[in-house]
């Protein structure tokens, strides 16, 4: 069943025992208050110092089980969250990634270990989310061997099937009102500002009835085979992202020049 109006999925990235819990708690409370069942991207064995933001939470895994019981979708978010590989991958947004570019056997080992940790905690996932959007054909091969066939990534306005996987596109990094289609909004609570959290709360207060769980999204937006239309949407989205990054680099360069001139004028 396709909708004439837009529908949304909320995805929250980088959960681990040392997350910045003040931010996470606030966002999770907002989501719960509005009846949202988000995707929670869990790092099974975090070794990324940028995610070591609080003392380890001894109750982390029990809390994840409670959130899953309330309807949240627990996703495997890489393994150690370390971007030490080099490869553009199937969604070429970053050069440095954890998985894309690594050898097949290495990726197999990471995925097996990550899945084992989540399974041991009573949280066997069906959904894959790559850190930095970095995954390649080897990643998909290793995931498929473990029975994972669903991932959150790519572009488009509805799910599609590609390379033997169902892709639930993730197109937004902040709440944006759309007219039609299915849109995954990805936020990083560890680094979210007060303004970003307030914007999310305002958006949910208006659009709460338009948010879907993963099961509802896949039921109401049946995945179609990847085709030329999907490729065109992907290229257009990548072009917009690259243009946005280029403009940001230009602004940063200009600000450095202005700051340099101001500094020289004061000496």
Question: DSSP letter string over 103-159?
Answer: -HHHHHHHHHHHHHHHHHTT---SEEE-GGG---HHHHHHHHHTT--EEE---SSS-
- pTM of this structure: 0.84
- Mode of pairing for the β-strands spanning 165-168 and 160-162: antiparallel
Question: What are the extents of the domains in the chain?
Answer: 7-226, 229-267
* pLDDT in single tens digits along all 267 residues of the chain: 455 689 999 999 999 999 999 999 999 999 999 999 999 999 999 999 999 999 999 999 999 999 999 999 999 999 999 887 777 788 776 677 899 999 999 999 999 999 999 999 999 999 999 998 888 999 999 999 999 999 999 888 899 999 999 999 988 889 989 888 999 999 999 999 999 999 999 999 999 999 999 999 999 999 999 877 777 877 676 667 667 655 656 655 555 555 555 555 555
d(CA 140, CA 138): 5
Domain 7-226, CATH among 3.40.630.30, 3.40.33.10, 3.40.50.300, 3.20.20.370: 3.20.20.370
Dist CA 130 CA 136 (whole Å): 10
Separation CA 149–CA 168 (nearest Å)? 11
């Amino acid at each position: 069943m396709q909708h004439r109006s837009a529908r949304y999925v909320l995805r929250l990235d980088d959960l681990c025992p040392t997350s910045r819990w003040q931010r996470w708690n606030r966002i999770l409370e907002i989501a719960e208050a509005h009846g949202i069942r988000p995707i929670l991207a869990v790092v099974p064995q975090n070794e990324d110092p940028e995610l070591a933001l609080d003392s380890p939470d001894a109750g982390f895994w029990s809390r994840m089980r409670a959130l899953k019981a309330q309807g949240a979708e627990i996703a495997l978010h890489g393994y150690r969250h370390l971007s030490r590989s080099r490869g553009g991958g199937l969604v070429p947004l970053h050069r440095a990634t954890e998985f894309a570019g690594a050898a097949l056997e290495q990726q197999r080992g990471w995925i097996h270990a990550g899945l084992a940790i989540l399974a041991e905690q009573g949280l066997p996932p069906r959904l894959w989310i790559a850190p930095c959007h970095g995954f390649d054909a080897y990643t998909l091969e290793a995931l498929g061997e473990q029975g994972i066939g669903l991932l959150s990534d790519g572009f488009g306005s509805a799910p599609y099937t590609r390379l033997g996987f169902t892709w639930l596109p993730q197109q937004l990094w902040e709440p944006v009102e759309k007219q039609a289609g299915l849109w995954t909004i990805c936020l990083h609570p560890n680094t979210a500002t007060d303004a970003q959290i307030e914007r999310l709360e305002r958006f949910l207060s208006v659009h709460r009835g338009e948010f879907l769980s993963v099961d509802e999204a896949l039921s109401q937006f049946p995945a179609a085979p990847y085709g030329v239309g999907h490729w065109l949407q992907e290229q257009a989205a990548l072009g917009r992202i690259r243009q946005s990054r280029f403009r940001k680099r230009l602004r940063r360069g200009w600000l450095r020049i202005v700051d340099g001139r101001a500094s020289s004028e004061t000496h």
